[in-house]
């Protein structure tokens, strides 16, 4: 028992250092836990979608079929939720969802996000393609929109080099949209020579 009014002895220097180290360790553990929670975020599994009777039969392993609708999208963690919503809307409104082939383009450090996609859409016919963002990083000027500063945003201009040569036509979609109609209608849009310059999203 300390007498009333008696001052406690100041803590020694080793005790102060130990307390500081414990505090820093606690902060590191909290941050690591929060990061792990974000990185292991899981979405619910989507139902399986089936073709209508009029759809042509395509092997599930065939990622090059000219009868399939090929869709290209970038895959990045900040827009992962939007990508999931876009995929679901495509499948929901497609008359031949099993004939849709998804080609996801991601940076070398984000290819693991494909596992998140396939865990929520286990029946999705998809491939992941890596894009070397260093090839365009030095060519981007500052923009008023932070999304435009991301090198992955310009992967659409290199689709001919990223996707396999067997894919002759692909519909490029941003991750911030939701489809309300059959994507086959968009894929069937004719591309004439005079408007190919402006058709950066449908190649």
The three-state DSSP-derived secondary structure of the chain is: CCCCCCCCCCCCHHHHHHHHHHHHHHHHHHHHHHHHHHHCCCCCCCCCCCCCCCCCCCCCCCCCCCCCEEEEEECCHHHHHHHHHHHHHHHHHCCCHHHEEEEEEEECCCCCHHHHHHHHCCCCCEEEEEECCHHHHCCCCCCCCHHHHCHHHHHHHHHHHHCCCCCCCCEECCCCCCCCCCHHHHHCCCCCHHHCCCCCCEC
pLDDT of residue 164: 93
- In angstroms, the CA 154 to CA 164 distance is 18
* Amino acid 23: pLDDT: 62
> With a cut of 70, which residues of the chain have pLDDT below it?
1-41, 141-149, 192-203
Provide the CATH number for the domain formed by 69-195 in this structure: 3.90.550.10
Question: Is residue 139 within 8 Å of residue 158, measured between CB atoms?
Answer: no
Q: State phi, psi for 55 to the nearest 5 degrees.
A: -75, 140
Note the pLDDT of residue 31.
47
Look at residue 154 in the predicted model and tell me its pLDDT: 83
Q: Which of 34, 53, 43, 47 is nearest to 84 (CA)?
A: 43
| pTM of the model as a whole | 0.72
Residues 6+ apart with CB under 8 A from 119: 42, 43, 45
pLDDT at 15: 60
Beta-carbon count within 10 A of 32 CB = 10
Q: What is the pLDDT of residues 51-72, one digit of tens each?
A: 999 999 999 999 999 999 999 9
Residue 173 contacts residue 73 (beta carbons within 8 Å): yes
Cβ proximity of 67 and 56 under 8 Å: yes
The string of pLDDT tens digits covering residues 115-144 is 999 999 999 999 999 988 877 777 776 665
Closest by CA position to 201, among listed 174, 166, 164: 174
Q: Are 127 and 104 in contact (CB under 8 A)?
A: yes
Residue 111, pLDDT score: 80
In angstroms and rounded to an integer, the radius of gyration of the C-alpha atoms of the chain is 25
């Amino acid at each position: 028992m300390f007498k009333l009014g008696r001052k406690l002895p100041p803590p020694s220097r080793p005790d102060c250092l130990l307390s500081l180290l414990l505090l820093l360790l606690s902060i590191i553990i909290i941050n690591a836990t929060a990061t792990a929670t974000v990185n292991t975020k899981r979405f619910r599994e989507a139902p399986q979608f089936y073709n209508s009777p009029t759809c042509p039969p395509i092997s599930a392993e065939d990622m090059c079929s000219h009868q399939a609708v090929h869709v290209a999208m970038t895959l990045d963690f900040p827009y992962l939720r939007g990508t999931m919503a876009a995929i679901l809307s495509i499948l929901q409104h497609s008359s031949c969802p099993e004939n849709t082939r998804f080609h996801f383009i991601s940076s070398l450090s984000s290819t693991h996000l494909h596992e998140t996609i396939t865990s929520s859409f286990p029946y999705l016919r998809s491939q992941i393609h890596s894009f070397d963002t260093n090839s365009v990083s030095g060519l981007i000027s500052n923009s008023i929109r932070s999304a435009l500063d991301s090198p992955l945003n310009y992967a659409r201009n290199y689709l001919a080099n990223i996707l396999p040569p067997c894919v002759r036509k692909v519909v490029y979609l941003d991750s911030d949209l939701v489809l309300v109609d059959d994507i086959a209608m968009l894929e069937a849009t004719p591309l004439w020579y005079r408007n190919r310059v402006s058709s950066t999203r449908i190649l």
